[in-house]
Amino acid sequence: MAWFTFPADNLLCRCLGIFITVWLTLLFVFIIVPAVLGVSFGFRRLYMRTLLKIFEWTTSRMEMGAKEKNQQLYKPYSNGIIAKKPPSSLQQELLELRGSASCSRTEPEFEMADIFYFCRRGVESILDDEVTKRFSSQELDSWNLLTRSNYNFHHISLRLTVMWAVGVLLRYGVLLPLRVTLAVTGIGLLVVLTTLLTFLPNRELMLYLSEKIHLMCYRICVRALTAIITYHNRENKPKNGCICVSNHTTPIDIIILANDGCYSMVGQLHGGLMGMVQRAMVKSSPHIWFERSEVKDRHLVAKRLSDHVADKTKQPILIFPEGTCINNTSVMMFKKGSFEIACTVYPVAIKYDPRFGDAFWNSSKFGMVNYLLRMMSSWAIVCSVWYLPPMNREEGEDAVQFANRVKAAIAAQGGLVDLIWDGGLKRAKVKDAFKEEQQKLYSKVLVGEQDEGDQGDSTHLEIENPDDSTKGQ
């Protein structure tokens, strides 16, 4: 009786077919077509304003419920544990610690009190570690109906519990399937269309269409993250034949910037799905992918970058000089390799709003697939992008000084903390050369030499460590 079917089965299939047809039609008309044309209906902005109103309501309910139950709502911060003095030289701090008795001596010498200075500095570094806390998610004062907070806010009242449950159903039942569909569409179109472009005999036409295809696919991927991006000072956008450098929070920084213009990517060649996408992209666009063994050859990397920027018809190169992802609270040391090339540098500052979702990729904790699922199940990705005026090396300025000047400009514009530390310290130990530099500074104090800034070259030491996203060379 294989020909016999239940009417309910036919009805179910018809309903499923109608649902899929309507779903794909709405997806195509309201998301994919506007992405291709580069227009927006304003739905995402309205969605963001609605979320802010909901967050304000949940915050007021949390505070009211916590007050009724006499509970501590927010976690007290530990920033005030250590009362640090304004930065001064090593010699000045040691003289203050030794007291007035040592100031009367004509010849400097070692004193037991010096030990307490280094002990104090060590304890301060442990309690207020400027490096480690830059690789963990920002903690929020209020609750955004996600589970990132340390507190179970949805247990405070029944209304919050209901609101949290509705949010879970909306994020995983509606937003996640929609975003996955868009992501697959964007990546699939990128691979297929860039591969087809290689069959065009006219190279100029191929490069022109490649730029349009990349821009279209990146815009679809931006909508797959429900990214709401505000671009500032577009008159400073990077131009061909230059290098664009930016602070680095997440691999999706590439999508955020490429949504507003095409770039040539620099990175390590991967395998699997990522490798397939890289190989398809490089066939129709001048991206620079390195083998793992080539990445360690700084001269080869510099030569290929120099050859690229020498051609003013090629797209600007996008580089993340930090070499690893930072949690968007600070900017850490820029590797000097990108600043040794004689060309104009266009700095870009990216600042994410953590209220809608945590964009930071903690590669030590989450794999790429897990991280992308977390992004697609958050409320949205909201960020601001500032294009800073182009910068060039000044006369007498070396690559390290130029890198620090660019880093300081990015930190100031994005409201980020400007740190001297190398981001590679999250996986590697401090180099012996760094310890030796501090020993040299102390030895100068003992022999009576006047130091001209204790930090010296120790702020420029680099950790030889491959980057998470393999872009900071």
Q: How far apart are CA 362 and CA 327, in angstroms?
A: 8
Whether the per-residue pLDDT at 246 is higher than 90: the answer is yes
Average of per-residue pLDDT across 189-202? 85
Distance of CA 368 to the CA centre of its chain: 14
The reported pLDDT for the residue numbered 124 is: 67
Q: What is the pLDDT of residues 113-147, one digit of tens each?
A: 677 677 777 666 665 666 666 766 666 666 777 76
Tokens (6 digits) for 186: 């964007």
> Any idea what DSSP says for residue 86?
P
The reported pLDDT for the residue numbered 464 is: 43
Most confident listed range (51-65, 198-212, 232-246, 452-466): 232-246
Sign of CA dihedral 460, 463, 468, 472: positive
The reported pLDDT for the residue numbered 139 is: 63
pLDDT category of residue 236 using cuts at 50, 70 and 90:
very high
Tokens (6 digits) for 159: 């209304």
Average of per-residue pLDDT across 405-427? 84
pTM across the whole model? 0.76
pLDDT category of residue 45 using cuts at 50, 70 and 90:
confident
Most confident listed range (17-21, 50-54, 386-390): 386-390
Whether the per-residue pLDDT at 261 is higher than 50: the answer is yes
Average of per-residue pLDDT across 308-319? 85
Q: How far apart are CA 195 and CA 145, in angstroms?
A: 42
Whether the per-residue pLDDT at 465 is higher than 50: the answer is no
The mean pLDDT of the chain is 76
The reported pLDDT for the residue numbered 454 is: 44
Confirm if 44 and 356 have CB atoms less than 8 A apart: no
Q: What is the pLDDT of residues 148-163, one digit of tens each?
A: 554 556 566 777 778 8
- Which residue, among 256, 222, 182, has the nearest Cα to 23 in the 3D structure? 182
- Tell me the chain's radius of gyration from C-alpha atoms: 27
Q: What is the pLDDT of residues 349-368, one digit of tens each?
A: 999 988 888 888 887 778 78
Average of per-residue pLDDT across 257-266? 87
Whether the per-residue pLDDT at 459 is higher than 70: the answer is no
Whether the per-residue pLDDT at 445 is higher than 80: the answer is no
Whether the per-residue pLDDT at 462 is higher than 80: the answer is no
The reported pLDDT for the residue numbered 191 is: 85
Count of other CB atoms within 10 angstroms of residue 331: 27
Checking DSSP bridges between strand 345-352 and strand 381-387, what pairing results, if any?
A: antiparallel
Most confident listed range (95-99, 196-200, 323-327, 401-405): 401-405
The reported pLDDT for the residue numbered 391 is: 92
3-state helix, strand, coil in the chain (%, to 5): 50, 10, 40
Distance of CA 285 to the CA centre of its chain: 24
The reported pLDDT for the residue numbered 457 is: 42
Question: In the beta sheet, which residues pair with residue 265?
Answer: 318
The reported pLDDT for the residue numbered 386 is: 95
Question: In the beta sheet, which residues pair with residue 330?
Answer: 417
Kindly state the percentage of the chain with pLDDT values over 90: 11
